[in-house]
Amino acid sequence: MRIALQPAFLLHRKPYRDSSRIYDFFTLEHGVISVIAKSVWRKEKGGSLANLIQPFTPLLISFVGRASLKTLSKVELADNHKNFSGERVFCALYLNELLLKLVGRNIPHPELFGYYSKSLDALKSASSVEEPLRSFELFLLAELGYEIDLETDSTGTPINECANYLYEPTHGFTKIQSEIVNEGGRYLGRDILAMAKGEFNGVSAALKRLLRVTLSYHLGEKELQSRSLFPSK
Amino acid sequence: MAAASFLFKNKVSDISAFDSLVSAFCCLPGVGAKTAQRMALHLIERDRQGASVLSEALQNALKKIGKCKLCRNLSEGEHCEICVDPRRDKSLICVVENPADVFAIEQSGTYRGLYFVLMGYLSPLDGIGPDEIGLGDFKNRIIEEEIKEVILATNPTVEGEATAFYITKLVGLQGIQISRIAHGVPIGGELEYVDSNTLAHALSGRRLITK
Ligand SMILES: [Zn+2]
């Protein structure tokens, strides 16, 4: 298989024997893939092309090989590198970590690819990082078939604005008799409905909690590392 | 490395000694199976004296070379030569990713301050956080010593920049001057051949030459 000029972002790179490298790319039509770049390739191009392969840089990559073993043959810059000022780079790395740890290899996710690119731009320019981060998490979960049902509870009844709910990743929201659970584990109906409408202002703490629970359920054993470097507020 | 087996047809145990030497060479950067086999053959067949010197030097280096307690650079003593040199400017500290970077800066002959070697960069995806690159020790040094300026010379990669930023925040609270080395067009380079990321860096880091 020979693929030419595939839009891609680098998610992660690691050294591979013989001074080669393995790159994990998120590509438009092939999803998350691992590609080997031979040391020869890096030397021949004077290293300058290999230097282009940085995270958050829109690339066009060409590669050959089967699903399990692909070899990089060419790289071009598709657009300018998205420079993140200061701590926002850690938020951007967090998106990469989510993709690496949750998305299966060699499965196309073209819409997620577009959303990722848009989210990087939003992370660069938005006044707060919360909105782009939460939106990306929600989109990613939906794309992978783990969508959180924000409109109906576990019995199929529409979420009631005035009711209190418990949330479990396996069941969704379950209505509870008001104050028997402390605030840390409880969700207000009106907050859930606001999330469903994409109105994240004012519910950011609850939404963050909801997404953490859901993401860590789907991550299983894998832990997210980049959060530890997030700006402390 | 079955290809080498022709050497020792009769003694199975020798084959494994040769093979393990070959695979030991494979740990070197840029050395694949073929090159490793050539190196092993050369040492065993043609230069046994050299092989013995190499083996001793390697053992010796492993025994003697550790990390400097102050700067984390490779050192034969508890403290490295640079850290104990009284002629070095102790108010300046340059943060680099690797010992090779120290060599490179020393080669330039323009820097007379101290170093701090991270032995890597912040890379959350590889589980490398501030503690793994010694930033706890670094902060203590900044507090305890009379340091006036920290020069951040991490690489101009995403991770290098992220690391530089993290250190800036760490040091910023201590009221010490922080600078970042300039990145730009290489000497003797031609603009049209410089990649656009580098050029963008060079432009954004431009210097005023007249007022
Ligand atoms: Zn030292």
**Which residue in the set A54, A80, A229 is minimally distant from B122, CB to CB?**
A229
pLDDT of residue B2: 46
> Ligand 1 centre and the CA of B181: distance in Å?
21
Q: Assess whether pLDDT exceeds 90 at residue B121.
A: yes
The chain A residue lying nearest B199, using CA atoms, is A80
Cβ–Cβ of A89/B157 closer than 8 Å? no
A47 vs A212, higher pLDDT: A212
Q: What's the whole-model pTM score?
A: 0.82
- Tell me the chain B residues in contact with residue A81 when contact means C-beta distances shorter than 8 Å: 197, 200
B194 vs A204, higher pLDDT: A204
User: Is beta strand B149-152 parallel, antiparallel or unpaired with respect to B89-96?
Assistant: parallel
Q: How far apart, in whole angstroms, are the C-alpha atoms of residue B96 and residue B180? A: 11
Question: What's the alpha-carbon Rg for chain B, to the nearest Å?
Answer: 23
> Ligand 1 centre and the CA of B168: distance in Å?
21
Nearest by Cα to A61 from A81, A45, A78: A78
Cβ–Cβ of B125/A17 closer than 8 Å? no
Cβ–Cβ of A97/B124 closer than 8 Å? yes
> Ligand 1 centre and the CA of A60: distance in Å?
43
- Please give the order of strands across the beta sheet that includes B177-180: B113-117, B89-96, B149-152, B177-180
| Tens digit of each residue's pLDDT (9 = 90 or more) over B133-157 | 999 999 999 888 889 999 999 988 8
Nearest by Cα to B112 from B77, B151, B142: B151
Question: By the 8 A CB rule, do A55 and A92 touch?
Answer: yes
Q: How far apart, in whole angstroms, are the C-alpha atoms of residue A27 and residue A25? A: 6
> Ligand 1 centre and the CA of B154: distance in Å?
17
> At A82, is the pLDDT very low, low, confident or very high (cuts 50, 70, 90)?
confident
Question: By the 8 A CB rule, do A98 and B125 touch?
Answer: no
> At A94, is the pLDDT very low, low, confident or very high (cuts 50, 70, 90)?
very high
Which domains are assigned to chain A? 2-77 (2.40.50.140), 86-233 (1.20.1440.120)
The chain A residue lying nearest B34, using CA atoms, is A18
> At B206, is the pLDDT very low, low, confident or very high (cuts 50, 70, 90)?
confident
Q: What does the DSSP 8-state code read for residue B120?
A: S
Which helix H or strand E contains B152, and what residues bound it? Answer: strand B149-152
Q: How far apart, in whole angstroms, are the C-alpha atoms of residue A141 and residue A149? A: 11
Question: By the 8 A CB rule, do B42 and B49 touch?
Answer: no
| Tens digit of each residue's pLDDT (9 = 90 or more) over A12-23 | 988 776 667 899
In one letter, which amino acid is A176? I
For CA atoms A47, A50, A55, A60, the dihedral sign is: positive
A125 - beta bridge partners?
none
Q: How far apart, in whole angstroms, are the C-alpha atoms of residue A102 and residue A221? A: 12
A222 CA to chain B: closest CA distance, Å?
11
Where in A28-107 does DSSP place strands (E)?
31-37, 59-65, 70-77
> At A74, is the pLDDT very low, low, confident or very high (cuts 50, 70, 90)?
confident
Cβ–Cβ of B196/A77 closer than 8 Å? yes
Q: How far apart, in whole angstroms, are the C-alpha atoms of residue A167 and residue B12? A: 64
Nearest by Cα to B73 from B88, B84, B57, B58: B84
Cβ–Cβ of A87/B31 closer than 8 Å? no
A229 vs A63, higher pLDDT: A63
Average pLDDT over all residues of chain A? 87
The chain A residue lying nearest B194, using CA atoms, is A48
Q: Report phi then psi at B184, rounded to 5.
A: -175, -150
The chain B residue lying nearest A56, using CA atoms, is B158
Q: Is A34 near chain B, with CB under 8 Å?
A: no
Q: Is A2 near chain B, with CB under 8 Å?
A: no
Residue of B28, B197, B203, B204 for testing the chain A interface, max A β-carbons within 10 Å: B197
- Tell me the chain B residues in contact with residue A94 when contact means C-beta distances shorter than 8 Å: 124
Q: Assess whether pLDDT exceeds 60 at residue B6.
A: no
| Tens digit of each residue's pLDDT (9 = 90 or more) over B37-74 | 999 999 999 999 999 999 999 999 999 999 999 999 99
> At B5, is the pLDDT very low, low, confident or very high (cuts 50, 70, 90)?
very low
In one letter, which amino acid is A191? D
Q: How many residues does chain B have?
A: 211
Q: How many residues does chain A have?
A: 233
Question: What's the alpha-carbon Rg for chain A, to the nearest Å?
Answer: 20
| Tens digit of each residue's pLDDT (9 = 90 or more) over A147-194 | 999 999 999 999 999 999 999 998 899 998 766 666 667 899 999 999
Q: Assess whether pLDDT exceeds 90 at residue B209.
A: no
Q: Assess whether pLDDT exceeds 70 at residue A42.
A: no
The chain B residue lying nearest A11, using CA atoms, is B125
Q: Is B51 exposed, middle or buried (0-12, 13-18, 19+ CB in 10 A)?
A: middle
The chain A residue lying nearest B33, using CA atoms, is A18
Structure tokens at A41: 């390739």
> Ligand 1 centre and the CA of B137: distance in Å?
13
Residue of A9, A11, A18 for testing the chain B interface, max B β-carbons within 10 Å: A18
pLDDT of residue B3: 47
- Residue B113: count other Cβ atoms within 10 Å of its Cβ: 18
A106 - beta bridge partners?
none
Which helix H or strand E contains A11, and what residues bound it? Answer: strand A2-16
A149 vs B191, higher pLDDT: A149
Give the SS3 label for residue A210.
helix
Structure tokens at B164: 């530089």
Q: Assess whether pLDDT exceeds 90 at residue A51.
A: no
Cβ–Cβ of B32/A17 closer than 8 Å? yes
Q: CA angle B97-B102-B104, nearest 5°?
A: 110
In one letter, which amino acid is A123? L
CB neighbour list of residue A170: distance below 8 Å, 6 or more residues apart:
A217
Question: By the 8 A CB rule, do B1 and B23 touch?
Answer: yes
Q: How far apart, in whole angstroms, are the C-alpha atoms of residue A176 and residue A154? A: 11
A18 CA to chain B: closest CA distance, Å?
4
Question: By the 8 A CB rule, do A226 and A90 touch?
Answer: yes
Nearest by Cα to A74 from A56, A57, A53, A58: A53
Residue of A9, A20, A43, A89 for testing the chain B interface, max B β-carbons within 10 Å: A89
**What is the ipTM, given to two decimal places?**
0.79
> Ligand 1 centre and the CA of A232: distance in Å?
32
- Tell me the chain B residues in contact with residue A87 when contact means C-beta distances shorter than 8 Å: 165, 169
| Tens digit of each residue's pLDDT (9 = 90 or more) over A113-160 | 999 999 999 999 988 899 999 999 999 999 999 999 999 999 999 999
Q: How far apart, in whole angstroms, are the C-alpha atoms of residue A134 and residue A131? A: 5
